[in-house]
Amino acid sequence: MKELLLTISLSFIITMLWSPLLISTLYKFNVVRQGDKDFSHLVGERYLKAGTPIMGGLLIIVTTVIITLVTNWNGNTYVPLGVFLLSAALGGVDDLLNIYGRKRIVRTIKKQIVLAKVHKSHFQRVILWLELPWVGYKNIWYALGSYPGTGIQAGEKIIIQILSSLPVVWWIYTRLGWDSISIPFIGLTHIGILMPILIVLAVIGMSNAVNLADGMDGLASGMLIPAYAAYMFIALNRHNMPLALLCAAVVGSLAAYLYFNIKPARIEMSDVGSLALGALLSTIALALDAVSLLPIIALMFVLTVGSSLIQAIYRRVFGKRLLKMAPMHLHFQVKGWSEEKVVMRFWLFAWIFSIIGLLLSFY
């Protein structure tokens, strides 16, 4: 317990100390929310936040990685940290492309086929035919509402996230040989070959859930603290000190980051932080054999991604809105709740569900 509190404190202090440096560096290199280029310009309130530094997730990532490398680098942490950094790299590239990238061109399948038939170069025709499945795959995502923009496209992101989750699959399923999960009140449940699928879905799902929840000042970070705190105590209870210390480092760093992220935010996490923290949370849950508690502990994130998915399907199938806006936090904002009210109530429920999840971990 003493080590956990020390780690939280150390992480908090280090993050607080170098935050001004990162914020000023991001301002200097104009790594800020772009009002006209950013894909999230669709949301009016986000449009007003143009000029706020993004990539604030680096505060948490760098602090956590340094503390873990120095004090907690062992067989229990190198895979979570690896997935953490891979997801952060994906998010970081996406953030930078959103600022500096060119708008992507959406080529339809029909146009691709026409080009493949009429291009004067035989070599190019072959390339165009070979590219056809990839163009088809991208068009499916565009049909589902993926906004082209300048960053990494949704279909591309999913593939990279699947690849990022493969180290976790190797670690949990192959190296440790786990093919069962513990479910409260039921016990160990054998799932066999479904384990790799569960691992991939958990990592991708949580990554994108946290990314979607990062839509208001302090929302994602405020909800991640109780989730990581819950897993910290679960790890402590299950005598997995390395993972408990890893969670502690994240908790301390998140708390310091939240100081700068509450409204009006001086810095935003953006994809570099949200993708990484979501992937890390699910990896820790899997490593502790507590993935069945993840939908409860991180229920607010699950509801966020679920609301987006249901809304997307419903509006495309029936042509009407189920919620006023998705994700869920925007629905309440459109209903008339202030941003502060939405954020604080979501924090409250995040703490409640984390405590419930922690309680269930004893069964």
Partner 1 sequence: MIVDEVPKPVKDLVHEYLNLQINSCTVRAPYYRNVKRIRAELRSLVGKGLPSEIVEETLIYSKLRGFILEGKSEEEIRDFMILQGIGVDCSGFAAHIYDKWLKSSDRGNLVNKLQFKETSFYRSIIRRIRPIENISANDLTNEKNSTPIKLNQISPGDLIRLKGVKRGDHLAIIYSTTRDESNSLKQVTYVHSSPAYQKDNGVKFGEIVITDPEKDLKDQQWREVDKNGKCWTLECLLRDYEQNRNGLRRPNFLIKPE
**Does residue 324 interact with partner 1 by CB under 8 A?**
yes
Amino acid symbol at 326: A
Return all residues near 281 (Cβ < 8 A) that are at least 6 apart.
206, 210, 224, 227, 228, 231, 294, 298
Specify the residue, 263 or 321, whose C-beta has the smaller distance to partner 1: 321
**Does residue 187 interact with partner 1 by CB under 8 A?**
no
CA distance 299 to 178: 25
**Does residue 1 interact with partner 1 by CB under 8 A?**
no
Candidates 37, 119, 125, 315: give the one binding partner 1 (CB under 8 A).
315
Specify the residue, 123 or 318, whose C-beta has the smaller distance to partner 1: 318
Name the nearest CA neighbour of 243 among 230, 224, 226.
Answer: 230
Window of 131-139, 207-215, 241-249, 311-319 that interacts with partner 1 by CB under 8 A: 311-319
Candidates 36, 177, 319, 362: give the one binding partner 1 (CB under 8 A).
319
Window of 11-19, 52-60, 114-122, 319-327 that interacts with partner 1 by CB under 8 A: 319-327
CB 321 to partner 1: min, Å:
6
Mapped onto helix, strand or coil, the DSSP state of residue 193 is coil
Candidates 27, 47, 73, 78: give the one binding partner 1 (CB under 8 A).
47
Query: Hey, which residues between 167 and 186 contact partner 1 (CB under 8 A)?
Result: none
Candidates 6, 325, 355, 356: give the one binding partner 1 (CB under 8 A).
325
CA distance 300 to 100: 32
CA distance 289 to 84: 18
**Does residue 317 interact with partner 1 by CB under 8 A?**
yes
Contacts with partner 1 by CB under 8 A: the residue count is 18
**Does residue 333 interact with partner 1 by CB under 8 A?**
yes
Name the nearest CA neighbour of 193 among 167, 173, 168, 163.
Answer: 173
In contact, 219 and 345? CB cutoff 8 Å = no
The helix (run of H) or strand (run of E) holding residue 284 is helix 270-287
Specify the residue, 35 or 184, whose C-beta has the smaller distance to partner 1: 35
Query: Hey, which residues between 102 and 141 contact partner 1 (CB under 8 A)?
Result: none
Task: Supply the DSSP string of 91-152, one letter for each residue.
Answer: HHHHHHHHHHPPPPP---HHHHHHHHHH-S-HHHHHHHHHHHHHHHHHHHHHHTT----SS-
Specify the residue, 154 or 224, whose C-beta has the smaller distance to partner 1: 154
Residues in the chain: 363
**Does residue 321 interact with partner 1 by CB under 8 A?**
yes
Specify the residue, 117 or 335, whose C-beta has the smaller distance to partner 1: 335
**Does residue 310 interact with partner 1 by CB under 8 A?**
no
CA distance 305 to 301: 6
Write the binding mask 7 to 46 for partner 1: x where contact by CB under 8 A, - elsewhere: -----------------------------------xxxx-
Amino acid symbol at 51: G
CA distances from 103 to 38, 148, 150, 270, 338 (A): 11, 7, 4, 19, 33
CA distances from 332 to 72, 145, 301 (A): 41, 22, 15
Candidates 5, 21, 48, 163: give the one binding partner 1 (CB under 8 A).
48
Specify the residue, 342 or 350, whose C-beta has the smaller distance to partner 1: 342
List of residues contacting partner 1 (CB under 8 A): 42-45, 47-48, 143, 315-321, 324-325, 333-334
